[in-house]
Each structure stands twice: as C-alpha cells, then as structure tokens.
Chain A
Amino acid sequence: MELRVWYPSMRAVRGHGIGNGNHRVVILNLVGVRSHNDVSKLMYRLLIDLSNFPNSQPSAYVLSPRDKDIQHVNIGNGAITNLVPNRRVCKICLGGGSGGAFSSWPKERMTRMRGFLNHLENVLNTPNTGSRARG
C-alpha cells in the first residue's frame, strides 16, 4: 500500500532534498485529541525530520495549532529549529522506548515509515500524562 493512499496530505518540503530523490523534511496532517482532558478531535499539522531515516527514528514537530493553543501533554513547548528558522515549532515526545522499537523493525523504508506514522497517530490520540513535555 502506498503511503499517499493513507496520508494524502503528505508533502515533501522543497529546499530540503538530499540529492537522491528523497527528502529530508515532509509535512503531513494527523488527527489527534486536544488533550487528556478533552478528547475532541483536532487536526495536527506536522513536520517530520527524516535526516537519518531509515537508520534512526524521525523527529516530529507540530506546525499547527500554534504553541499557545496546544494542550497535549506530549507535545513540547515551541522552539526554533534549523528546519523552520522563521517560527517556533513544538517537538512531539515520542516516548522513551520508541527509538528501540523503531530499531527493531525490519530496516525497510516503507515498513519503518508506516510503523512510525502509526506510533505518531497513537501518541496524538492517547496523551500520556506520565511523560509530560508541557503542562
């Protein structure tokens, strides 16, 4: 199954190509809950840093909602990164064991990307108050 079937909003960011046809940065939308106290659904617009993919787990940042409007405890406070120099983006805390789990998956791009996006969806929909990145 191609990723674009499930994630039609996924777009590579121009200017972040790494020369072999792949891109270092992609943007996509995922639906999650607003917070652990408010399970109303919310569209998160995410930026994924694939710098060392598929060798290591990508990083994920929230582009919108904006920092001040985020209530999800596993999304960190806004910070400037070299990926988006002109605005603050909020890094998603993927959980302590997620890197190890990622490394245990077959080292195949599609498998790892699907697993990673699955995990990301899970984080956005099940806030873990035991591992707060804000609030």
Chain B
Amino acid sequence: MLLIPGAVLKSSSSRSIRVSHRENARVSSEVLSETPMSVSAVISMSGLAPRDGSPVHLYSDGRRLMVDDTVSPGQDVEIGTCSLIESMVVSHISTKAGRLFIGAGELPDGSIGHVPGARIGDSVWVVRHIQHQSRKDTSIIHAQCHSFNLEGVPYQVGDLVRARPTPDGLNSLLFDPRTEEWSILLRVSIPQNMDVEEVRESYGGLLWTIRVRSIDGSAHEGVLVPRLTYNPRIRRGRN
C-alpha cells in the first residue's frame, strides 16, 4: 500500500449504507444502520424510491439483489428503476384476423409496440420479445410484446400472451412481472384442427401468440393462436 503523509484514507462508514442511483449518478443518499437491513427497508429509507409505483431494485456489484437478501452497513449499493416492463397506450389496431386483433401504440423509446388483444385506448403494461426495423421506414422500430396485469394475478384465462416454445412445441417460459423473470412454466397445446408435426415444422423457433387456457400456481396452460402468430414461412395471399 502506498502511504502518503497527511492523507486520510476514507472508507465508507461501517454504520451506513450508501445508496446511489443507477440511472442518475448525481443522486445518492446514505442510510444509517448498525445492523444488516432488508432490501425493501433500504429502498424505502434511501428516499430514492419511485413515487409512481414503478418497479425498483437494488444492485450490488452489478448484481440485482433479491427480495430476501440483506444489505450490510458499509456496503455500497445502487438503486435502479430500469425495468423490462414498459407502459403503452394503444392508438390503433395493427393486425386484424376475424374477431382477433393486435393493438399497437408507442412505447417510451418511440418504438411501436404490438400487443395481441389490446384495444384502442387501452393503457397496458407490456414486455417486449423481439423487435425489427420497419421495411418502409428504417427509423421506425416495431416491437412484438404482450401485456399482463401488474396488480394481483398477472395472467387470467383468455389472455393472449407471447412465448417461444421449446423445439417440441410443448413448453415455454412466460414472463412473470412480479419478479421480472421468464419463470412461469407455460404448457402449450396445438389447436385440434392442426397437425402437430406440421406445426412443429412450420412454427418451430418462432414467437407464438398463445391464449391462456388454465392457470395454476406452478404452471399455466395455453393454446397456439396461429392467426396472430407471424409466420414468414406461410405466405398469406391477398386478392
């Protein structure tokens, strides 16, 4: 160690937790504590928690802390509201297939989000799956999303969601907005009027639109909605 006469070696106080803002480095605060604190207590006492109900997390060394983690005095943590969850107001219908439709609207970054089952005027919470540039105007980004409920149970029977099933087309993982992880097991079935092998071949690897048919604590069940699943392998002719 290089010691400089007169210099004071400053370390973070062992009686406080320093909380800095992940998206705005100029903003920080100190939480005084002599004992380890829960993540939620640090968030609350930092004074940096969002007041608008936005999801918030703590990070330590770049790793997101889980709800049951604790933060020790002397530890530096970051608070962040960066979230996979985005909000959108549906402004138009981008796809209509019989009684089924996909609603579209502007996402916070200006991309156009497409959400199965969303109606014009709906204000929805969404997660994006894939995005691509518009062929007509490369400055426009289209994002394929699905919506969920942020209060209470995230999905209900009848909801239209999106997921990319395993190669056998039987299982996939659905986004859980409570943890922001793709962790809800979704068992997927094929409509009775379709051939399973053919579906696996023509829809394999694609992002499927799926209608939730049943909800269980450990696993949900859903059925593929082919008319709202974009499939470049199937050319739909226009007269």
Q: Which of A's residues lie within 8 Å of B, judged by CB?
A: 1-2, 4-11, 14, 27-31, 41-43, 45, 63-64, 86-87, 117, 121
Across-interface contacts of A14 in B (CB, < 8 A)? 106, 110
Cα distance A9–B81 in the bound complex, in angstroms:
9
Which one of B81, B87, B121, B151 contacts A87 once the chains associate, using CB atoms below 8 Å? B121
Bitwise, B61-101 to A at CB < 8 A (1) or not (0) is 00000000000000000000100000101000000000000
Q: Known contacts A5-B24, A29-B87; is A64 also within 8 Å of B52 by CB?
A: no
- Interface residue total, chain B, C-beta cutoff 8 A: 22
Contact A7 B24 (CB under 8 A): no
23 CB contacts below 8 A, A to B, read A2-B24, A4-B24, A5-B50, A6-B50, A6-B52, A8-B50, A8-B52, A8-B81, A9-B52, A9-B54, A14-B106, A27-B87, A28-B52, A29-B87, A30-B51, A30-B52, A31-B53, A41-B151, A42-B151, A43-B53, A64-B122, A86-B120, A86-B121
Across-interface contacts of B52 in A (CB, < 8 A)? 6-10, 28-31
Across-interface contacts of B108 in A (CB, < 8 A)? 11
B48 contacts partner chain A, Cβ-Cβ < 8 Å:
yes
Which residue of B has the minimal Cβ distance to A12? Answer: B108
Across-interface contacts of B151 in A (CB, < 8 A)? 41-43
B150 contacts partner chain A, Cβ-Cβ < 8 Å:
yes
B27 contacts partner chain A, Cβ-Cβ < 8 Å:
yes
B166 contacts partner chain A, Cβ-Cβ < 8 Å:
no
Which one of A5, A27, A41, A86 contacts B27 once the chains associate, using CB atoms below 8 Å? A5
Contact A2 B89 (CB under 8 A): no
Which residue of A has the minimal Cβ distance to B151? Answer: A43
Cα distance A87–B122 in the bound complex, in angstroms:
10
State the 9 A-B residue pairs at the shortest beta-carbon distance, nearest first.
A64-B123, A87-B121, A8-B81, A31-B53, A8-B54, A45-B123, A7-B52, A6-B51, A29-B52
Which residue of B has the minimal Cβ distance to A32? Answer: B53
